[in-house]
Amino acid sequence: MVNFISFDLQFFIIYYYMLIKINGEEMNVAEGSTIQDVIDESNAPYTPGSIICLIKGKKELEKNVSKFKIKTTQGSVILELLDTKEAQPLVDVWKKQYKDFENLSIRWSTSNEVAIGPVVTDLEPTSEEYKYYEGDVVLSLSSFSNESTHLILIKENTTNVYSVPPFNKGIFARVIGGKKTLNLLTDDDEVKAIEPIIERSTTTDSSAVSDLDTVLEEGNELFTYVSLEVDNDSPVSVEHLFSVIKDGRIKVDFESESFLGFYELKGINKPKENVVSRTRGTVTVRNSGVGVGKLYIYRENRVLSPNHTNVGKIIKGMEIVDIAKKGDFITIKSNQDRLMLLGHNQNEIDEKLASLNIEHIKEGVTGEDALIVEQTPKYTIDILNEGKVTTKSIHKDDLCEINFTDNAPRTVKYFKLVSGLLEEPIGKIKVHFSVPGMHILIFEGDSNTSKGLVPENTPENIVKACEIGITNMAAKNVGLIGVRFEDNKEFGPTAESFSSTNILGKVVSDYSKLEKFKDGEIVYVKESND
């Protein structure tokens, strides 16, 4: 495309444009545009650092397509193309002209066949009689004319002269789905649309790019994000998914032919909710057994499993799922935003809740420094269903902020799991032991999840004031959490020996407020941004 812009009568500037697709939508862009240019111009969802799927063009994509869906007024019929040398000339014609069969009426329907057409092709007819079998899909030149090319779908075994081209008896595909629909079709029905079915094998030759300065060419297709529709019947598992998403993207931890795995929150128990067939594009969370808490996106159909709760369905962007590798980041966008109110001021979320027609019931302290530390219901789907949410706030200065160390990954993960910080921005721990004047505070742990706490980052000569420690497997009270408010050269924050103590970080907020807590009270905690 060429545009002329005149600045005066004697001078012209010529702009050249090219047609591309981004996330399935056609777009004219200036020749020489980069991926970044197109993202900026289209405002396409994209989180920096995520991969982008680049396909050279429609022809590049469809050369690997093996299945097509014929949508009719009675339902859909699925065709699978033959992968043989004899059928290839017919397959090539079909891929070039399948759109010509759209919006055509069923030409005739008998007990043996359904015919769609006519269209014009360059094929030449023969006069041979052949045997055909149920499910065969044939290109037929009726009346021995290429101007009367029909698509014939065989319903029952038959012998006929279909004036087929001299390739594989005219057979180029098989019916693999929708046989019931095929039997319902009459000459009163019509073809509404014909679409290629994009599978993993279709896009494996596409490029995964992260360089946004890549220059695009005419006919290129870009996919910048994955769009997800959540399952409203799995509120707990949907919230689990929201917790896996960080800054609008997720990181691939495992890749196989049939699925991608996201394992950041493995080990967190989740209830069994809605269980459905694991078809291509389905998103699940494992609800029991080895790998509980793992998230999966399926590239291929898998058998139904009661150990997997349905989270949602990918409705756009499977092209990215198909090419992603271990370590890649994928931008993901849900049809439903997470209603995570923790860490916000009560007043600042009033407008958002009102826009969703959700009643806001406030508890605890109020005012400009009122920080939300609890919400009921906890889960987004439940809040939307009930149409109301109760929030509890504390003074911002009463929040315990912790700076976690990099030297104790298992211990830090344990603390975040017990406190809830693995899935939420504000966690809580319960005081187990508090004695005024001892300058120590011990919190409850979890005896089950603490079994793997091997010694790591154990202190050597001294435990500094405000350092947080956890009793490791070397002592009986494994999993207890503690903090001291003064230096100690003999015992750790849980009153155990140094060898039985793992240091996970340090309290960086005002520790004097912690010293006032008593047995059974709740301390709200947050990871420090410093």
Q: Provide the CATH number for the domain around residue 499.
A: 2.40.100.10
**Strand, coil or helix: 54:** strand
Residue ranges making up the domain that contains 191: 67-196
CA 53 to chain centre: 15
pLDDT score recorded for residue 512: 85
Is residue 409 domain-shared with residue 521, that is, in the same domain?
yes
* The 106-109 sheet, strands edge to edge: 106-109, 113-119, 149-154, 136-141, 171-177, 75-81, 67-72, 191-196
Residue 505 falls inside a structural domain: yes
- For the chain, report the end-to-end CA distance as a whole number of angstroms: 52
On whether both 231 and 211 belong to a single domain, the answer is: no
Kindly state whether residue 72 falls inside one of the protein's structural domains: yes
295 and 232 fall within a common domain: yes
Q: Tokens 């650092």 correspond to what residue?
A: 49
Same structural domain, 74 and 190: yes
Judgement on whether residues 216 and 250 belong to the same structural domain of the protein: no
Whether 30 and 116 share a structural domain: no
Nearest to 270, CA basis, from 297, 299, 310, 304: 310
**Token pair belonging to 277:** 């067939």
SS (H, E, C) 158-169: EEECCCCCCCHH
Length of the chain: 530
Residues 403 and 389 in one domain: no
403 and 506 together in one domain: yes
Which pLDDT value is given to residue 6?
A: 46
- Asked, for residue 340, whether it belongs to a domain, the answer is no
Per-residue pLDDT of the chain (530 residues; tens, 9 = 90+): 545 444 444 545 555 789 999 998 999 999 999 999 999 999 999 999 999 999 876 666 666 789 999 999 999 999 999 999 999 999 999 999 999 999 999 999 999 999 999 999 999 999 999 999 999 999 999 889 999 999 999 999 999 999 999 999 999 999 999 999 999 999 999 999 999 987 766 665 677 888 899 999 888 999 999 999 999 999 999 999 999 999 999 999 999 989 999 999 998 999 999 999 999 999 999 999 889 999 999 998 998 999 999 999 999 999 999 999 999 999 999 999 999 999 998 888 988 899 999 999 999 998 888 899 999 999 999 999 999 999 999 999 999 999 999 999 999 999 999 999 999 999 999 999 887 778 899 999 998 888 889 999 999 999 999 999 999 999 989 999 999 999 999 999 999 999 999 999 999 998 888 888 999 999 999 999 87
Three-state secondary structure of 65-80 = CCEEEEEECCEEEEEE
Whether residue 240 is found in the same domain as residue 216: no
Q: Are residues 11 and 84 in the same domain?
A: no
Q: Say how many C-beta atoms besides its own lie within 10 A of residue 382's C-beta.
A: 17
Q: pLDDT at position 368, please?
A: 82
> DSSP 3-state assignment of 146?
helix
Whether 184 and 126 map to the same domain: the answer is yes
Q: Are strands 388-395 and 359-364 parallel, antiparallel or unpaired?
A: parallel
Residue 47 belongs to some domain of the structure: yes
**Which tokens go with 104?**
């055509």
**pLDDT of the residue at 395:** 93
pLDDT of residue 448: 84
Q: What is the 3-state secondary structure (H, E, C) of 354-413?
A: HHCCCEEEEEECCCCCEEEEEEECCCHHHHHHHCEEEEEEEEHHHCEEEEECCCCHHHHH
Query: Global pTM?
Result: 0.76
DSSP string, 269-315: ---------B-TTEEEEE-SSTTTT-EEEESS-B---TTEEEEEEEE
The residue among 415, 404, 502 whose CA lies nearest residue 459 is 502
341 within a domain of the structure (yes/no): no
The verdict on residue 95 lying in a domain is yes
Structure tokens at 180: 């019931």
Rounded to the nearest 5°, which phi and psi values hold at 387?
Answer: 75, 15
Number of domains in the chain: 5
How many other C-beta atoms lie within 10 A of the C-beta of residue 174?
Answer: 17
440 domain-assigned: yes
Asked if residue 458 and residue 386 are part of one domain, the reply reads no
Residue 161 resides in a domain: yes
